[in-house]
Structure 1
Amino acid sequence: MSPSATQSEADLAMHAGVPESQQTPANTSHTALFSLTKKTVAITGGGRGLGITLAGAVLEAGGHVACLDILPEPAAAEWAALQKTAKASGLGLSYHRADVTDEAALAGVFDEIDAESAALGAPFYGCIACAGIQQKVTALEYPQADFERIQRVNVTGAFLTAKHAARVLVKNGVRGSIVLIASMSGQVANRGLTCTAYNTSKAAVQQMCRSLAQEWGHPYGIRVNTLSPGYIRTAMTDDLLATAPELEKIWMAGALLNRLGAPEDFKAPAIFLLSPGSSFMTGADLRVDGGHCASA
């Protein structure tokens, strides 16, 4: 390319052979790269904990949110805060009771969300599969039924969520983004924890991500990535620490930033994976663990 080439010509050369729908213009602003304006995102496990925090992040990024959870109602205080944010920003916010392991019911909920998003003029764009459960039992004593239940919720539930989100995207011709919440526990064994079933499930979610990304990248343009948190102070981990307080000392020994994670630490990473800012990222794992794996 000659030195006299215009910026437009340079952009065309850089994007040679890349369909326009997959291009990120060179002059796209930083704000636009991380915006979810006129997009609708579904979040499973969105009734409390990390899921409801990420719902707030989507609203803050300008997106509409549909939360799904097996709970009859979302956590009251957090939901009231979300409603206030949504109302102030003129954004849609809905709650759907759903069991991620019940495929027929889950498919129906995604159809409802698709209709809601069309009415909002904000096409369904993707999801965060955040629903998951944990259990601390030694492997020698682990009941088969409990082990299978962990896999059913954490693995099958994540798969069904991704599947039905993708079916809506394909039907509508939308090149969307799917984020599966995995864990650093899919890569390392947690010191002090006897949670073979959980660790197995999160390793499976990471491999599922790579497989789905391979299937859906072309021709559908659907991106699939995992977000792998480290230790997070949520209601689930607080319950665990209440029964085994010695764990906090063990966890802190590997905390390179001298603290455990908070749900808010994962807002920006989740928005990055959903948004156009990560448009050339798929089949990847984004680990946000405060350095635990680095010190393992």
Structure 2
Amino acid sequence: MLPAMRTLRILTRKCGARAFRPPASTNMSSMLAARTLHTSNSLHVKPNKPTNPPPRENPAYGVGPRGHDNVGHKRFADFDLAGKVFIVTGGAQGLGLAMAEAVVEAGGKVCCLDHAAAPSACFHAAVSRIVPEYGGALLYRQVDVRDSAQLDAVVASVAAEHARLDGVVAAAGIQQVTPAVEYTEPDVARMLAVNYTGVFMAATSAARQMFKYKTRGSICLVASMSGLVANKGLLSPVYNSSKAAVIQLARNMAMEWSPVRREDGAGGIRVNCISPGHVLTPMVRKNFEEVPGLREKWEAENMMGRLADAAEFKGAVLFLLSSASSFMTGSNLVMDGGHTAW
């Protein structure tokens, strides 16, 4: 008798049930082989299979201030980003540019990456608002986040120029308003290439440099409340599901990169994401052109009765990138005017 059948008969006998007899036509060898495909046996796990660093054995000390180190020495010292270097994808306009400006105001040097060959008028206006005394800088590089090799090379060059990289804001994203039954495979692939894979590759490119230069930095992924709920009045199944994936991605990257590795001192990289509600960005304004009455519907769906301005997220990204959030990782900061709270 096959071992599996013997075990099954013992179990059914103990449970008071009649022994199971497969049909005569059943090939037990095939059935067991098929079952093996769905079975995980810890005895067969390779000893060198990668796993996350044990946090207690690799505590992330040195990530932020301890005690009252920053209290009373300088106004809002925990939010100070002077001398630090960051990258913002999707930074040519809208939410990404507003977040980049926040970092510059705190003294950070920011390189904005976007697919446009040249920066927009909005970007030039942001540059004109820089106060030199703050020490920040705003630069632009043309990069398509779907080109992983180019993205990785640009991130590496920015880090090499300054011999450090303190973080990245992955804000590049696209939208397509289409009923699910009308999506084509290329449509889905294009959306995910930007909204998920582009975010993934931006974060991993940055993390490699942060490990290399041993910077205890922070990565902020821009998700959306659309990753938590379906947007009333807007048929965007791929966009919404891609943002849900980004929220989960932040948790997994945080688990992997937050501990500080004992062997080389690298790590201590916090990963969080922001989930904005409806924001008046160029992409959203295009949605309003495509769907009449959509703005009014969205304004009525949150507790504040209005949509957000991109500048309202400056404080959030500054909080997440600075040592003010030094004990925060793997979290999703929802800022939606109360949309998902009722």
TM-score w.r.t. length of structure 2: 0.77
Whole-Å separation in 2 of the counterparts to 1:234 and 1:43: 16
For 2:180, which of 139, 144, 149 is the aligned residue? 139
- Greater C-alpha Rg: 2
Whole-Å separation in 2 of the counterparts to 1:273 and 1:90: 20
Which secondary structure state, in structure 1, belongs to the residue aligned with residue 166 of structure 2? strand
The match for 1:106 is: 151
CA contact (8 A) 2:100 2:110 kept: yes
**Kindly tell me: are residues 249 and 222 of structure 1, through their superposed partners in 2, closer, same or farther at Cα, counting changes over 3 Å?**
same
> Per-residue deviation at 1:77?
3.8
The farther-off stretch of 154-163 and 216-225 is 216-225
Residue 292 of structure 1 pairs with residue 333 of structure 2: no
- Unaligned 5+ runs, structure 1: 1-16
For 1:210, which of 251, 257, 264 is the aligned residue? 251
Report how many residues are paired: 275
What residue identity is the alignment partner of 1:176?
G
The match for 2:196 is: 155
**Kindly tell me: are residues 58 and 19 of structure 1, through their superposed partners in 2, closer, same or farther at Cα, counting changes over 3 Å?**
closer
How far does the alpha carbon of each residue in 1:120-162 deviate from its partner, in whole angstroms, 9 at most, with x for none?
Answer: xxx3200100000001000111111111111111000000000
The equivalences for 1:1-296 within 5 A come to: 20-27=61-68, 28-29=70-71, 31-85=76-130, 87-118=132-163, 123-219=164-260, 220-295=267-342
- Unaligned 5+ runs, structure 2: 1-57, 261-266
- Greater helix share, 1 or 2? 1
CA contact (8 A) 1:128 1:178 kept: yes
Whole-Å separation in 2 of the counterparts to 1:269 and 1:256: 19
**Kindly tell me: are residues 19 and 246 of structure 1, through their superposed partners in 2, closer, same or farther at Cα, counting changes over 3 Å?**
closer
CA contact (8 A) 2:274 2:335 kept: yes
Whole-Å separation in 2 of the counterparts to 1:193 and 1:37: 41
What residue identity is the alignment partner of 2:299?
M
Whole-Å separation in 1 of the counterparts to 2:160 and 2:112: 15
Which secondary structure state, in structure 2, belongs to the residue aligned with residue 131 of structure 1? coil
> Per-residue deviation at 1:235?
0.8
CA contact (8 A) 2:106 2:136 kept: no
CA contact (8 A) 1:46 1:74 kept: no
> Per-residue deviation at 1:87?
3.8
